[in-house]
Chain A
Amino acid sequence: MEQAAYKPGEHPDLPPPSDTVGPIAWVRANLLSSPTNIVLTVLSIWFLYEIIPATLDWAFLDAAFTGESRDECRAKAGGACWAFIGERFNLFTYGFYPADERWRIDLAFVLLCVALLPVLWDRCPLRKYGLYFACAFPFVAGWLLLGGFGLTPVDTDEFGGFMLTLVIGITGITFSLPIGIILALGRQSDMLIVRVFSIWFIEFFRGVPLITLLFVASTMLNYFLPTGTTFDLLLRVLIMVTLFASAYMAEVIRGGLQALPRGQYEAADSMGLKYWTSMRLIILPQALKISIPGIVNTFIGLYKDTTLVIIIGLLDPLGVGRSSLADTKWTGLSNEMYLFVAIFFFISCFGMSRYSLYLEKKLATGHER
């Protein structure tokens, strides 16, 4: 009877059936939808139950945060001994850089953040000047870290820790992109010789492991230089890492170049643009945009690969950690050390990959429907 009170089509919406909304429905749909699903859910919960409390216990609840040695930690608590990281924190950060000069690394790091801001954030105030500064930054940082011109010179042997990772990573990233672009263009070139040399270069560096290249840098590069020249080991490593990364970069960018429709090249030609102008204004902006995920992946790979330098004796965080473990006071704390270094790498690499997702979204200029 009451239904008649509404005109046709004016009946208010009824609430959805109670078993299709709310947490219970969500659990049903997402965790218990089929027998296999139920088994998987039970297994994962059991797995989490086994792992999480034990890890929390080890890392926080039963861990020692202060202490002078491993034995002192062990006497206090049965879990992790973070006092080790605390005591060696400066070594992990600065390596063997002279203590009085460490402000230079701090300053360089602050300047790095200042330089990155306008590069990464396109609505940054005074962006234009910021970009000029970013271009000058590598030289400023080089001067700060190496010294000279009024600052006490510091030998590159004393570089180490996270600072070394950043130095290798950022140098590699800065230089591998332009070299990679040139190689990719060379590989696409109409000129046979240029193409062949680009292909050789790219395939050689992609075909061998980075560690063998580092061995080459450390053992035999001196043979190829004029007699009597000595060449800084860090510089040799930087060159090898950069060349290695640029070969990968070239392949990523080639993917972007090939993904562009032929019409873009032809349109640029028919406008009468010269090769470099058409590349700069038409082809590369589009190709680089397509290849952003690949480029960032290469950056992340390069950044992670900086750890390999420990094998030829440079002391990055892993190297510092391993040599610290040799100290009888702290022996046997490898899990703490590896976890600490892993967290550092995780934060930087995860940050980079998140930023690339953001960039992809921002640059998607509405070709998708």
Chain B
Amino acid sequence: MAETVAVPSQRNVISRLWNDKESRSVIIQVLTISLVFAFLAYIIHNAVVNLQAIGKGFSYNFLWQPSSYDINQHLIDYDSRSTHFRAMLVGILNTILVAVCGIVLASIVGFVLGVLRLSKNWIVNRLAYCYIEYVRNVPVLLHILLVHGLIVHAFPVPRQAISIGDVTFMTNRGIFSPKPLYEPLFLVVIVLFVLALAFMWWFKRHAQKVQDETGKRYPVFWIGLGTIVGIPLVSFFLLGSPITWDVPALKGFNFTGGMVVRPEFIALLLALSLYTAAFIGEIVRAGILGIYYGQTEASYALGINRGRTLSLVVIPQALRIIVPPLTSQYLNLMKNSSLAVAIGYMDIVATIGGISLNQTGREMECMIIVLTLYLVMSLIISMIMNWYNKRIKLVER
């Protein structure tokens, strides 16, 4: 140590600081943070100046003013006298509705496509391939517009509606079907149904425990079917069918009464889920192919049959590969639902980010709401899927 000669400091302080890893990291971070905050301060300052210049403040008071526009599909009570806030709620519910239905439908179709794509049957395999390639290589907006166009053109005007048993009518203004009107006694059926669900939840765990301890197996599926479907059904008829139906009827140029599913909703749902299904199909295929074939052979060697091999051996392992990319497909579907605005489906973007924005002129406030809502929904889907992913993850050392 004594021999060490202090290196004469020929370089200046800055270059010495820069060449030291620790201090360089501090310098870079301080620079980054000040640049980012300077930038933010700059644009916020600009925004304040600009808003002042045109005499607009920044406030959310407009949310409590009447919206004075109609929304044709609303899951909660809404009319043109309701507030902008309520319009936003309607928009959120519409987005959630189409996203949830779309996710379910896309998963089902996607899994079927993935399995068909792996089929040994050459024609089926090729058909699935053509479908997937066509759908994946064409923009989703085009699918939405095309499906919407097809529905509006293919279905007849209300006067020539396609009638199914004189209760359901398919027209280019939507599918009209009878609406159930519940009588008070129906509550009993619902309560019984919930109780049946709770019982089955307990019974399934109990049966599993008994099987683990004694090897004895209960026919859980059949008992479950009997309890969950049977009990409510029997009680429903015993109570004298406490539901009356509000059947749609043609009045003037359109149907009134009943429930209506709007063509915009159908078009958006079909286009989004068929589009996403093609991606999910490829993910499922990759997931199943990713499982080493020895697993299947080992399962056969143990005498497990084909169906159980799939459900007990292959799929649980394939899910580990499938779930992460599946999550991003679900997120994509939810985000793509914002394209609803192109065909006039009233989702978040079309209500608060569209008509409300144009009526009140509050661009900044409305866009902040819209962006926040989408971020929150993305976070929720990610959280659910991460939780699921953790649950099915391989437990390693």
Contact = CB atoms under 8 A, between A and B. Distances in A.
Given A219-B357, A305-B139, A350-B137, A211 B341 contact: yes
B342 A311 contact: yes
Contacts of B378: 206-208
A247 to B, nearest CB: 12
Contact of B32 (A41, A194, A300, A307): A194
B297 interface: no
A334 to B, nearest CB: 4
A193 B34 CA distance: 11
Given A208-B371, A310-B342, A41 B121 contact: yes
Interface residues of B, number: 53
B36 A223 contact: no
Interface string B38-55: 000001001101110100
Given A209-B336, A223-B51, A197 B36 contact: yes
A208 to B, nearest CB: 5
A319 B15 CA distance: 56
A239 B82 CA distance: 37
A47 B127 contact: yes
B123 A44 contact: yes
A40 B119 contact: yes
A60 interface: no
A356 to B, nearest CB: 13
A92 B63 CA distance: 42
Contacts of B220: none
A302 B169 CA distance: 40
B204 interface: no
Contacts of B145: 318, 322, 334, 338
Interface stretch (A61-69, A80-88, A118-126, A341-349): A341-349
B262 interface: no
Contacts of A191: 25, 28-29, 32
A227 B138 contact: no
Contact of A308 (B123, B141, B153): B141
**Interface SS, B side:** helix
Interface in A185-244: 190-194, 197, 204, 206-212, 215-216, 219-220, 222-227
**Interface SS, A side:** helix
Contacts of B11: none
Contacts of A33: 120-121
Interface string B341-355: 110000001000100
Interface string B207-248: 000000000000000000000000000000000000000000
Interface stretch (B159-167, B177-185, B312-320, B362-370): B362-370
A40 B28 contact: no
Nearest to B336: A209
Interface residues of A, number: 56
B194 interface: no
Contacts of B336: 209
A31 interface: yes
Interface in A304-342: 304-308, 310-311, 318, 322, 332, 334-335, 338, 341-342
Interface string A28-48: 011101000100110011011
Most chain A Cβ neighbours within 10 Å, of B46, B51, B142, B153: B142
Contacts of B341: 211, 311
A353 interface: yes
Interface of B: 25, 28-29, 32-33, 36, 43, 46-47, 49-51, 53, 119-124, 127, 133-134, 136-142, 145-146, 149-150, 153, 331, 335-336, 338-339, 341-342, 349, 353, 357, 363-364, 367, 370-371, 374-375, 378-379
